[in-house]
A = this chain, B = another copy of it.
Amino acid sequence: MIDQTSARSPRRIQPTSLFTDHYELTMLQASLKSGAAHRRSVFEVFTRRLSSGRRYGVVAGTGRLLEGLADFRFGPEDLDFLAQHHVVDEATLEYLADYRFTGDIYGYAEGETFFPHSPILQVESTFAEACILETYLLSVLNYDSAVASAASRMTSVAQGRPCVEMGARRINEEAAVAAARAAVIAGFASTSNLEAGIRYGVPTVGTAAHSFTLLHDSEREAFQAQVDALGADTTLLVDTYDVEQGVRTAVEVAGPRLRNVRLDSGDLVEQAHWVRQMLDELGNTETGIMVTSDLDEYAIAHLQSAPVNSYGVGTRLVTGSGAPTASMVYKLVSRQGDDGQWVDVAKAAAGKGSTGGRKVAARRLDDRRRAVAELVGVNEQPPVDSNDRPLLQPLVLDGVVQEGWTGPEAVTRAAQRHRASLAELPQAVRKLQPGEAAIPTLFNGR
């Protein structure tokens, strides 16, 4: 599915080190001064709840953040800016000039499903090294996981009918590339986004816009131009004027080998039925029907009864179908004292409390390999038996990104992993209505 030969991975983007909140650097300065900056620390990424009553979330962005970690360096231009604006003092600038992450990162594999309090990422290093990664790590995980979590519901409902990601125009241009990647991890077949193609090897596809038909003197001339250029193995957009006439003209121009007609407005269920009948009567039994137009998981569920062959999904996908962020947070859960002893820590405040201590996580599977619980041990292995599947993978060890987690290869692996992880979950996760997490999260077996 993913083209691993010709994609450039990672395509060079700019340094990532200033995708950082001001306070991370001032905290660095203050902790360098107090000496606490060098205390070993464990930060964890987790979410307190799933968005919008969803049954599960999908981890995405891991590969991207590991690719960006190599560029998380402070160059002369960055340091000049920080100095000129008095963001931090001289000692801190010196620290940043030499900065590179030398610690360990464990985390859920990309594509894995997650639940409330799943320890999705765990960063162990000095406070100084780990503290300044907060914003960057969360930006990547929060958006990519929001899209993947929405995408998984869509592909799940589509039950094998291909879904095509087409949302680039509705979200920030760089977010759009990340969205295409996340969508493919969660089961989308392809994307319209060319940058996602070049950067991650994701297959790209296209149809045609109304403007193309309107540019020509008639719909027939437009279809003829498209077929002349691209062959009959193309998708003709038939709703610029009159759908019935559009279908007739499309078949006349492209013949029986026309790949698809696309419907983009009106009552798609009703149209799909009579367009299918019409295509069959005209002899185009192999021509598919692609539908687009503000689709989401609910619209797809409604369209499953209609003779539709593929779905193009845009706005609702790239905006997380009502949940444009996954609400993940990055919290210090344990740190050493001056005596080298680890101290578990957590904020006490109302409604935002968390559990101190380093987590260990496993998915509990029953004898039929169905997931029944998310086991989270605090400073200890959760009570696992032979079926249980450990969830925290070594992603970075001593600052070195481990093999297999980056590049186009990681996208392929993440998509496979997502299918496997989803297959373990109870069938109830396919329900679209709001509800509880598919499986409970148990701390130390409780």
CB-CB nearest in chain B for A131? B211
Q: Which residue of B lies closest to A198 (CB)?
A: B81
Question: Is the beta-carbon distance between B19 and A168 smaller than 8 angstroms?
Answer: yes
Q: Is the CB of B85 within 8 A of A6?
A: yes
Contact with B along A91-117 (1 / 0, CB 8 A): 000000000000000000000000000
Residue ID in chain B nearest A225 by CB atoms: B34
A330 to B168, CA, bound (A): 13
A427 to chain B, nearest CB (A): 31
Q: Which residue of B lies closest to A13 (CB)?
A: B14
Q: Which residues of B contact A84 (CB under 8 A)?
A: 6
Residue-wise interface mask of A (337-361) relative to B, using a CB-CB cutoff of 8 A (1 in contact, 0 not): 1000000011111111000000000
In whole angstroms, what is the CA distance A347 to B208 when docked? 14
Interface stretch of the complex, out of A175-183, A273-281, A389-397: A175-183
**Contacts of A142 on B, CB cut-off 8 Å?**
169-171
Q: Of B20, B29, B208, which contacts A26 at CB under 8 A? A: B208
Interface code A183-221, partner B: CB below 8 Å = 1, 0 otherwise?
000000000111101100000111111111011110001
Say which residue of B3, B13, B134, B234 sits within 8 Å of A85 (CB atoms). B3
Min CB gap A134→B, angstroms = 7
> In the complex the two chains form, is A18's CB within 8 Å of B85's CB?
no
Stretch in A237-245, A295-303, A376-384, A438-446 with 4+ CB within 8 Å of B = A237-245
Is residue A368 within 8 Å, beta carbon to beta carbon, of the partner chain?
no
Chain A residues bordering chain B, tally (CB within 8 A): 117
Checking B8, B31, B43, B265 against A212 with a beta-carbon cut-off of 8 angstroms, the contacting residue is: B31
Q: Which one of A29, A43, A144 has the greatest number of beta carbons of chain B within 10 Å?
A: A29
A21 at the interface (CB under 8 A from B): yes
**A140 with B27: CB separation less than 8 A:** no
In the complex, what residue of chain B is closest to A171 when comparing beta carbons?
B143
A248 within 8 A of B: no
> For residue A239, which residues in chain B have a CB less than 8 angstroms away from its CB?
347, 349
* Residue A431 CB within 8 A of the other chain: no
Q: Which of A30, A135, A169 is the most central at the interface, judged by chain B CB atoms within 10 Å of its CB? A: A169
Query: Is the beta-carbon distance between B175 and A143 smaller than 8 angstroms?
Result: yes
Q: Is the CB of B19 within 8 A of A173?
A: yes
Q: Nearest B residue to A167 by beta-carbon distance? A: B325
> Are A208 and B31 within 8 A (Cβ)?
no
A230/B30 in contact, CB under 8 A:
yes
Q: Give Cα A346 to B210, complex, Å.
A: 9
Q: Is A22 interfacial (CB 8 A cutoff)?
A: yes
- Minimal beta-carbon separation of A32 from chain B (angstroms): 8
Query: Which of A27, A41, A210, A320 has the most B CB atoms < 10 Å from its CB?
Result: A27
**Interface residue A319 (Cβ < 8 Å from any Cβ of B):** yes
The reply to whether B214 and A170 form a contact with Cβ atoms under 8 Å apart is no
CB pair B214 A347 closer than 8 Å: yes
Contact A324–B211 (Cβ < 8 Å): no
Complex Cα spacing A194 to B294, Å: 35
**CB-CB nearest 3 A-B residue pairs:** A23-B206, A22-B206, A174-B174
Given A22-B194, A172-B174, output 15 extra A-B contacts at Cβ < 8 Å: A6-B84, A22-B205, A26-B208, A27-B206, A29-B229, A34-B225, A85-B197, A127-B215, A139-B170, A170-B325, A171-B175, A174-B174, A242-B348, A264-B352, A315-B327
